[in-house]
Amino acid sequence: MPVKNRFAELQDEITAWRRDFHENPELLFDTHRTAGIVAEKLRAFGCDEVTEGIGRTGVVGVIRGKGTGSGKVIGLRADMDALPITENTGVDYASKTPGAMHACGHDGHTAMLLGAAKYLSETRNFDGTVVVIFQPAEEGGGGAKVMCDEDMMARWGIQEVYGMHNWPGQPLGSFAIRPGPFFAATDIFDVTVTGRGGHGAKPHETIDPTVISAQIVLALQSIASRNADPVSQIVVSVTSFVTSSQAYNVIPPRVQMRGTVRTLSPENQDLAEARINEICTGVAAAMGAQAEVSYTRNYPVMANHDEQTEFAAEVARAVAGDCAEAPLVMGGEDFAFMLEERPGAYILVGNGDSAMVHSPEYNFNDEAIPAGCSWYAEIVERRMPAA
């Protein structure tokens, strides 16, 4: 497997960076320590420019090749933030921050892109410019959108952008990708059902929002089973159900629910939003109550661009010998905002037989580092070959 020898040499050093990030996780935009270390290392590597504070706590580094006559500018992105989960891995570098851990491998993503930046700064064996992007707040904060809204793509003249995510259950160091829609749009909704509370022994004197809300939960499942095309992908999940009373003998006046919708097309996104409003208000009205619905479109569908996807797969085959077709993923990924701004592609690198992401037992596999770093570097050297 033609992993670059330099990354085998650097693996212990990159692993040490990764484990330091793992031990000191930071949430959303509060990635001050991580961003500071990233910026310090990029300067030490000799990056031509290092800019902090893009997207609040994001970091952007610029590395120019031996020549820049091609005029090409490629962006490489890694996310830096952790999750509000209590770690249960038992490793000696486990999180020292109560209630926070790197449960999705962003510590590995950051370390791998730093490793690639070190190599590219040393060799500069390309004709063009690399922009390395270290992004906060992927886990629900939309940090990619904030960076894009600050005109990052135009400011640094980025023409294409590439990203990577580790993937548990996929063979260690292998790659998988697919063109077009890849990760789902991640909408959220809140529903408040208001009836008339009363004594649990006298339900006939009430308008019971608990029973009504239970009917709504069941009816919402008909969106996927009876409204959407059966061959399309759509998920509607009620994930929280809270009544305004915790007493055993009180029928509450109000129930609050929230949930998520996952879709892979704008048409299903529109369908879900319309039907959630219709079902919630209609069921409530039919049973004498009222329902208020708030629907928020969060991350859009992350769709890979065809040409860049084939190129990314070609690079993966050069590094690992093969590149599989990735499955559709109903999880969300805010790299979608960057792919709306510029053509590019997002690839999965195998984490081996590990716990799944977002699990207290999950840990990034450091043995994936050489493959991930090599892919980042090869993207640059093959897309912008030295003259």
The tokens describing 145, both together, are: 């959108």
DSSP state of 384: S
Alpha helices in 24-90 (DSSP H): 32-45
Helices vs strands, H then E, count in the chain? 11, 16
Non-local CB neighbours of 331 within 8 Å, separated by 6+ positions: 183, 184, 186, 262
CA dist list (Å): 114 to 45, 235, 237, 253: 9, 36, 37, 54
Cβ-based burial of 201 (10 A; exposed 0-12, middle 13-18, buried ≥19): exposed
Amino acid at residue number 353: D
Query: Which residue in 93, 11, 110, 12 sits closest to 57, CA to CA?
Result: 110
For the sheet with 234-243, list strands across it. Answer: 234-243, 254-263, 185-194, 290-299
The tokens describing 304, both together, are: 């890979």
Query: Which residue in 41, 117, 45 sits closest to 77, CA to CA?
Result: 117
Q: Is 104 annotated as a binding residue?
A: yes
Non-local CB neighbours of 8 within 8 Å, separated by 6+ positions: 370
Beta bridge partners of 127: 67
Q: Is 165 annotated as a binding residue?
A: yes
Name the CA dihedral angle for 291, 294, 299, 305, rounded to a multiple of 10 degrees.
Answer: 70
Question: Which residues are known binding-site members?
Answer: 104, 106, 139, 165, 358
Question: Which residues are known binding-site members for Mn(2+)?
Answer: 104, 106, 139, 165, 358
